[in-house]
Structure 1
Amino acid sequence: MEDPMVSSSTGAMNSLLDKLGVLENRYPDLAEGVRESLKSLSDVLHSFARQRTRNSLINEWMLQVREVVYDMEDWIDGDPSKAKLDDVEEQIEEFKAQIQGARDRCTRYGLLSSIEPSTTCALQDDAETRESVAMDPKLLHGEAPCRLVGSDELRNVLVNHLMDQEERRKVVCIVGTGGIGKSTLATGIYRQLQGQFSCGAFVHLGRNPSVKMTLISILKQVMPDWHCEEYLWNGYNSEDMEAWDEKKVINKLWAFLKTKSYFVVLVDMRSISTWKKISCALPNKDKSSDRILVTTCTKDIAESCCIHPGDFVHPMERLSEKDSKTLFHSKLPVSEQHRLLE
């Protein structure tokens, strides 16, 4: 049976290469070199796909490449010609950096040793001429390491903004390219602060989230005893929740949170419309200490989340190579970590 990760990774790459002509035709100067870089990654992906066994490092790398490919394909499908030229240029440069980051990591961690020499040489030669970029491990739903990578100063800055004396709902947003540790930082902050609120929730949105299921996830987390008799009596039966329409979920969540202090973390926000729908379900009360922490790769989304005085947007810089390696290693089995240190 075909490995689903192989199928989705290589298939997505083939689809993106087919669609890349749209970008090259509209922005030939900006898109220069993108196809060659993607083709090089594609060769490596297909080489790994032909292998019967792959270690955890290779699997993690393939997942990272797949996410970059999906992001590029979604952006092209969304018709970038509708955006401002400066925004298009910034987005293409970001994609180039992410592609190069994947190429560099493939070389740096010795993943090429098991594939054809011609592919290995082509990737290594190019990687040696570029600056490395941090990676994007999946640091979600309690899987992130408790220890944050890099300086504690940034965490303290964000915690201070979240725990200030502002007496209304406040939104803090971390914005930056994929793979720089936004999710790790958000997870650490959530673990540190969740006990200081009446209730809390940590949700990863990602690609094409269901707003209704996201809100149900928040509802179940802020109301951990939802299965007790009191909540069942008031119509919170878990088996019924999924049958509710979106409006009912919003009303139930809003009604529950209106008398609570809450801390909600929304990781990987990719749509302004998604934010607006979720925001409607999170009460904006006077004389409250409610807090929302959002991570996103997009400046426009961050600014749409933080529209009130006192809200705070923090642009997050890339990790150093040392911290990037530490973050990458933290997601691998102990046996793989030992192998890299040998």
Structure 2
Amino acid sequence: MAGVGVGTGAMNSLLGKLTALLSNEYNLLKRVRKEIQFLERELSGMRVLLERLADMEEKLDGLAKGWRDRVRDLSYDMEDCIDRFMDRLGSGDAKPKFMKRTARRLKTLWARHDIATQIKELKARVMEESERRDRYKLDESYYSATRTVEIDPRMTAIHEEVKGLVAMDGPMKHVIALLMDESKELKVVPIVGSGGLGKTTLAMEVYRKLGSGGDFQCQACVSVSRTLDLVKLLKDILSQINKDAYKECQSWEKEQLIREIKHILTGKRCGVYR
């Protein structure tokens, strides 16, 4: 379970307000909306690291604590800025008279330009902390130490070339025929049976056969452990279907990973094996 500690609560509150600010209720300038969307993505990645640091509070060194505290203070400053903007913009009367409406437009126009300046300054601070995070190698230092990986016994079949299989050719052709059906609908082909019958081996042989024949534009083979880590699974898929996107995804959360994978796979014939 993700930890909640110094900085995490402030970041959660801030991200909630950024989401509210991006709603249609607030008529943001176009460039401000883009800046806030950037901040939301960048801060979501910072939150992931803050949660890891919260899980390791007693093991943090001075660099990690300093970075965490600066991000916490930055979160408070950003939240104050957003609160002031929301208060000034308000919602107004439902049917104001002409003069009141004109005055309100001038007031909100000034408020929108004012927040543009403040957001620009806050963005510079966010980027500074992101660069400092990379310089300190905080992800590298604290990511591996907080993860426990359960080894799935099926992994041996995924990385092993199997030779001399008995009675595998027929089932493999049958599964391939189901997958290569001309229908454009999504297909799920389950391979069921009791342990030791070679289900994973069969799936891997289908994967290798279709991969060598160029039948699919992209493929991914993953192992789903008994304790599912969905973010790790999505990153595993992304690493196999688009290495360039994978290099950028280390701080992404589930929703952003799903959007990127969906974007990459749209319009392609793909296979995912597990």
Same fold, TM-score > 0.5, yes or no: no
The alignment's TM-score, normalised by the length of structure 1, stands at 0.33
TM-score between both structures, scaled by the size of structure 2: 0.41
Please identify the structure whose Cα radius of gyration is greater. 2
Structure with the larger helix share: 2
Higher normalized strand content (fraction of residues): 1
